[in-house]
Structure 1
């Protein structure tokens, strides 16, 4: 699969958005004074939207670089499975073995500490790990301040390191949301933010057929496929199995980015 050295997009300028914020607000003041409050207020609302909307766009590069597709992937896709480890993890691993597929499990730190044996089993079967926050605060992740955001990402990283003994390189934001305080932590820890190009919304209430209908058009070479385990709806295993069957039918291989190269920083 694609060499991991070409995939590393660790933030090198995590505060690059600050000058744009300053300039936008200076423009608001200038317009307010010269053209009146009606125009000034409209520009202020627009400028705030400019900085808020990217928080909720999973593949936006506004606040941090993101890997959303695999370059030069051949016939490969990258399966990523969020929210574990869970009681479904052993069954997920069995499905992957049956289809000779590999995946990266983006794990939650608290769950890692609660189920260290499952983490060890993921690694024993040849899969990879990623950082998916320490407590998965999905309702408020978008608005976490710098201290709490750092605690979420660093806490998960410490849990993964303690249990696996390995340096984890990949990170995925909770629900894909990335505010201004994510990039500085990624730079400090040397983490690469991973988005996706194929998503079926299987982490919320859904049916397998509905998920597959949303996923199928995007299951092609180079796709980063977002899947989940342990969701309350109980359909994750059926969905994962159907995705693996489709990959087999299309001659696509679920593999991992190679890990035998250096990790250069991407100046973005």
Structure 2
């Protein structure tokens, strides 16, 4: 297996400013020299690139993002977003029954409301990731630097205090990470994680349809996105069906921190 780094903390969180400035200077020069017929489309195209970086969950334009584990066999990373919730206890029992491990991307405020659920996740050998403090799904993508820093920092402090272990992974709300997320990720030694297989179970209620969508994108090293606590109330059913299907297909779950030594996380920022 080739050497690979899975835990990539942003090294230059403000580099995008230079890219933005250079692109707009180029557009202005071409507009001045060639007129609006050239300059206007180029301006729109340059802005579209930055919007793509925000709206596409696996875009690495503003910070490194992990989309797949570098393994060649039937191992995958199961991730569960939006907890803790009233589903957490049943999900933990399901995972134990299948000998599976998952990383729970947890919302800080929800962990404060259900601290014992977070402690149970850690106690039973699962991972905990940072998924913002209040999960502002309608406008996370539009947060300015101060509010973005607060969302990451508050969740990190709460999850560390309650769970006893500082998260090393971060998932943007709805996957949309704007340029201002990189600085707080670097500050807290967090690496951003997206996904490569999802069933849309946060909104889709039918477990069979959810699992069918996930299965279409299964491959060695897949990062599977699931949810808990959705309003339709069927996340546990969907996960149960998915775990049965993974067993039937011969897939095993793995946490990144349990991979081979050459795939271990990079040292925290500032470490010697």
Q: TM-score when scaled to structure 1?
A: 0.93
Corresponding residue for residue 263 of structure 1 = 266
Q: TM-score when scaled to structure 2?
A: 0.92
How far does the alpha carbon of each residue in 1:87-127 deviate from its partner, in whole angstroms, 9 at most, with x for none? 01001011111111010000000001111000111111111
Displacement after TM superposition at 1:79 (Å): 0.4
Corresponding residue for residue 233 of structure 1 = 232
Corresponding residue for residue 214 of structure 1 = 213
How far does the alpha carbon of each residue in 1:155-178 deviate from its partner, in whole angstroms, 9 at most, with x for none? 100000110111210110000001
How far apart, in 1, do the equivalents of 2:191 and 2:232 lie?
30
Aligned pairs for 1:119-268 within 5 A:
119-258=118-257, 263-264=266-267
Provide the alpha-carbon RMSD of the alignment.
1.9
How far apart, in 2, do the equivalents of 1:66 and 1:79 lie?
16
Q: Is the 8 A contact 1:219 1:247 kept in 2?
A: no
Q: Is the 8 A contact 1:11 1:265 kept in 2?
A: no
How has the CA–CA distance of structure 1 residues 262 and 144 changed in structure 2, closer, same or farther, with 3 Å as cutoff? closer
Displacement after TM superposition at 1:196 (Å): 0.6
Corresponding residue for residue 33 of structure 1 = 32
**Does residue 117 of structure 2 align to residue 114 of structure 1?**
no
How far apart, in 2, do the equivalents of 1:86 and 1:17 lie?
37
How far does the alpha carbon of each residue in 1:239-265 deviate from its partner, in whole angstroms, 9 at most, with x for none? 101110111011111121235856247
Displacement after TM superposition at 1:133 (Å): 0.1
How far apart, in 2, do the equivalents of 1:84 and 1:133 lie?
11
How far apart, in 2, do the equivalents of 1:201 and 1:255 lie?
22
Corresponding residue for residue 18 of structure 2 = 19
* Structure 2 residues not aligned, in runs of 5+: none
Deviates more, 1:251-260 or 1:223-232: 251-260
The DSSP-based 3-state class of the residue aligned with 2:65 is coil
How far does the alpha carbon of each residue in 1:184-213 deviate from its partner, in whole angstroms, 9 at most, with x for none? 111110001111111111112442222122
The DSSP-based 3-state class of the residue aligned with 1:80 is strand
Report which structure shows greater RCO (CA 8 Å, sep ≥6): 1
How far apart, in 2, do the equivalents of 1:73 and 1:103 lie?
19
